[in-house]
Amino acid sequence: MREISRRGLLGTAIGAAAALGAAGCAARSGSESPSAKASEQAKAKPIGDGSTADAGAQPNQPPKPQRLEPGEKPPQFVVFSWDGAGEVGNGLFPRFRKLARDHGAHMTFFLSGLYLLPESKKELYRPPNNPVGASDIGYLSDEHIKSTLENVREAWLEGHEIGTHFNGHFCTGHGSVAHWTPEQWESEIEQATGFVTEWHTNTGFTEADPLPFDYHKELVGGRTPCLLGQENLLPTAAKLGWRYDASSPGGTQVWPSKKEGLWDLPLQQIPFPGHSFEVLSMDYNILANQSKNTTRGPVENYPHWRQQATESYIAGFERAYETNRAPFFIGNHFEQWNGGIYMDAVEEALKHIADEKRKDVRLVSFRQFVDWLDVQDPAVLQGLRRLEVGQKWTPRAE
């Protein structure tokens, strides 16, 4: 399992408090009141069949990012992201939305398009190299589709990003996303976007409020299933005008660069307490090194594993914060593996990171982070990229 961790392979799954400084995005902004949200909905202009609507600029965004001055210390960016982003009755989506509100954090939710398509309409999905309607993550019940829609709607209004985790989550065999061509990725993206923008028609839930955004404009990045297939995805993503991709199969804690014109934002190898090797900054990869091939390991191990996972996330943050200030990326699923210990670990890590004593920490979405990257002086960013993992930033390090 150590090699699994190092190469970043994943299993299938359904998956600081301060005003803006001269150089950063504000990490903490309050969410709007219910009446303000209702007002946003009232102003929204329906798009297509009314599944989505243009409600104008997204609320609860940080102030406009500013350039770092030469020799100015960068903020510590932290991105919590979620693969699948379906609410299946376990309360995890609203739990982490509340956690984000409590700590002024913004997150990225990579929505699986199939989570808005009823199984009765699965013939509408034509996955590349797989049978019509096939899906390795299944389909949600009508009740869970409605819950997912509600949480996605509220998440966007609270300032979070809605990206994509594509559709069927194929990771093995001939149909794996690892073998898809750029043209097949384009088909998959078109379908994922369609399921999000045509759910009124596909579900019949025509009385439900629309998602308050134009998804064709909102969608600027994603993460592939099992971190596979990025090479052939990137030309298509660039063609579609995406700004970043979070699908690299394992990176290190250094400042990012671009591939095919997109910011390459990989999950990262971070310290794994009690071991000489590092683990990828995702719940599944920590699990793979604890309970191996099962999501229900011995219950007596849960307390130790929970603490180990928490300390791993915190160690990754602390290493970046105290040294090169590389952005820290965490990827998760709304899951209850090993009794939900990884959800507890993520929550405890976020609370630690969001300590109000750290005025230079920014808990942002991927989109907000690339907004900041895009206004920086390329020479300054190049200097930051020269800093190795654990190499301390100094005014002259660049």
| DSSP-assigned states of every residue in 62-79 | PPPP-PPPTTPPPPEEEE
Residue 172 belongs to some domain of the structure: yes
Higher pLDDT, 143 or 44: 143
Q: Could you give phi then psi for residue 195, rounded to 5 degrees?
A: -65, -30
Q: Predicted confidence band at 19 (pLDDT cuts at 50, 70, 90)?
A: very low
pLDDT in tens, 299-343: 999 999 999 999 999 999 999 999 999 999 999 999 999 999 999
Q: Are 234 and 228 in contact (CB under 8 A)?
A: no
* 371 found inside a domain: yes
298: exposed, middle or buried (Cβ count in 10 Å: 0-12, 13-18, 19+): exposed
Bridge partners of 77, per DSSP, are: 362
Q: How confident is the model at residue 397 (pLDDT cuts 50, 70, 90)?
A: low
Residues near 285 by Cβ (< 8 Å), separated by ≥ 6?
A: 4, 5, 8, 10, 267, 279
Span 246-282, pLDDT tens digits = 999 889 999 999 999 999 999 999 999 999 999 999 9
Residue 46 belongs to some domain of the structure:
no
Report if residue 397 sits inside a domain.
Answer: no
The pLDDT confidence band at residue 3, using thresholds 50, 70 and 90, is very low
- Asked if residue 198 lies in contact with residue 258, where contact means CB atoms within 8 angstroms, the answer is no
Instruction: Please check whether residue 189 lies inside any domain of the structure.
Output: yes
Q: Determine which of 32-41, 82-91, 221-230, 316-325 has the lowest per-residue pLDDT on average.
A: 32-41
pLDDT attached to residue 43: 73
Q: Which domain holds residue 325?
A: 2-30+68-385
Q: Is residue 338 a contact partner of residue 287, using CB atoms and an 8 Å limit? A: yes
188, pLDDT greater than 90: yes
pTM over 0.75: yes
Q: What pLDDT score does 398 carry? A: 54
Whether 195 maps to a domain, the answer reads yes
The residues facing 109 across adjacent strands are: 82, 162
- The DSSP output letter for 222 is B
pLDDT, position 380: 96
| Four-point Cα dihedral 183, 189, 192, 198, nearest 10 | -90
At 249 the pLDDT is 84
Strands 269-271 and 278-280: antiparallel
| pLDDT > 90: percent of the chain | 87
179-200 average pLDDT score: 98
Total domain count, the chain: 1
380: domain CATH number?
3.20.20.370
Question: Above 50 in pLDDT, residue 22?
Answer: no
Whether residue 278 lies inside any domain: the answer is: yes
Contact 113, 86 (CB under 8 A): no
Q: What is the predicted pLDDT for the residue at 26?
A: 37
